[in-house]
């Protein structure tokens, strides 16, 4: 792999801070940043509407295409992925091929506090706490494939960005 174009790819459960930390990393490295959820919303419509129209599987097809296109860009960049992008083996392999993959984690109570007033995540609507616990259990090993695991429960987004930059230097 050409290290000059190697991406930093952030994976992790909803609310672990992928979007937030990716902004800080891009600022600090002076490189481009892409967020697959944002790209999908700019090109295809809101995530809620896509779930409603095509179902989760249809949304995942769109997500895989967008992720492939972001990973193929021939320049260094930070890529924040959607929380469920790791569910497909194709996506996991592509992320590992093109990037340094960092899994952000946080405990359920912190995640619930971070996401409870946001209505943009269709899988969490209704009983947010129960949905977080159920989906976290389903995905308890889904993020294990990453090169680095980083628990953000008691870190600020800036502290999380610093740990990632340090780990990258030590690679
Ligand atoms: N380390 C942190 N400490 C406290 N709050 C945080 C931290 N990281 C993110 N947040 C807050 O949690 C909320 C969710 O963060 P963010 O949108 O970055 O998560 P995400 O991982 O991108 O979620 P999704 O998978 O749904 O896109 C935001 O309001 C953000 O400000
Ligand atoms: O964890 C998930 O399955 C999701 C996370 C979000 O980033 C969005 O991609 C969408 O709400 C689905
Ligand atoms: Mg996000």
Q: CA-to-CA distance for 106 and 74, rounded, in angstroms?
A: 32
Q: CA-to-CA distance for 115 and 112, rounded, in angstroms?
A: 5
Q: Each residue of 153-166: pLDDT tens digit?
A: 999 999 999 999 99
Taking the centre of ligand 2 as the mean of its atom positions, its distance from the CA of residue 28, in whole angstroms, is 26
Q: Are 97 and 143 in contact (CB under 8 A)?
A: no
Q: How many CB atoms lie within 10 A of CB 25?
A: 23
Q: Go through the domains of the chain in sequence order and give each one's CATH number.
A: 3-161 (3.40.50.300)
Q: Is the pTM of this model over 0.90?
A: yes
Query: Does the beta carbon of 37 sit less than 6 angstroms from any atom of ligand 2?
Result: yes
Q: Alpha carbon 45 to chain centroid distance?
A: 19
Q: Each residue of 81-139: pLDDT tens digit?
A: 999 999 999 999 999 999 999 999 999 999 999 999 999 999 999 999 999 999 999 99
Taking the centre of ligand 1 as the mean of its atom positions, its distance from the CA of residue 2, in whole angstroms, is 30
Q: Are 150 and 160 in contact (CB under 8 A)?
A: yes
Q: Each residue of 40-91: pLDDT tens digit?
A: 999 999 999 999 999 999 999 999 999 999 999 989 999 999 999 999 999 9
Q: Which ligand is nearest the CA of 17, by number? A: 1
Taking the centre of ligand 3 as the mean of its atom positions, its distance from the CA of residue 36, in whole angstroms, is 8
């Amino acid at each position: 792999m050409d290290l000059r174009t190697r991406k930093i790819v952030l994976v992790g459960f909803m609310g672990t801070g992928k979007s937030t930390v990716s902004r800080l990393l891009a600022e600090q490295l002076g490189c481009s940043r892409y967020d697959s959820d944002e790209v999908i919303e700019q090109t295809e419509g809101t995530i809620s509407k896509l779930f409603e129209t095509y179902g989760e599987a249809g949304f995942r097809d769109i997500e895989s295409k967008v992720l492939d296109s972001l990973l193929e860009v021939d320049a260094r960049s930070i890529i924040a992925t959607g929380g469920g992008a790791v569910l497909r083996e194709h996506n996991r392999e592509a992320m590992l091929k093109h990037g340094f993959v960092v899994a952000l984690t946080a405990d359920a109570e912190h995640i619930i506090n971070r996401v409870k007033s946001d209505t943009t995540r269709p899988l969490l609507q209704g009983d947010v706490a129960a949905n977080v616990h159920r989906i976290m259990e389903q995905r308890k090993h889904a993020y294990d494939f990453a090169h680095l695991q980083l628990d953000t429960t008691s870190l600020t987004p800036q502290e999380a960005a610093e740990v990632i930059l340090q780990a990258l230097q030590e690679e």
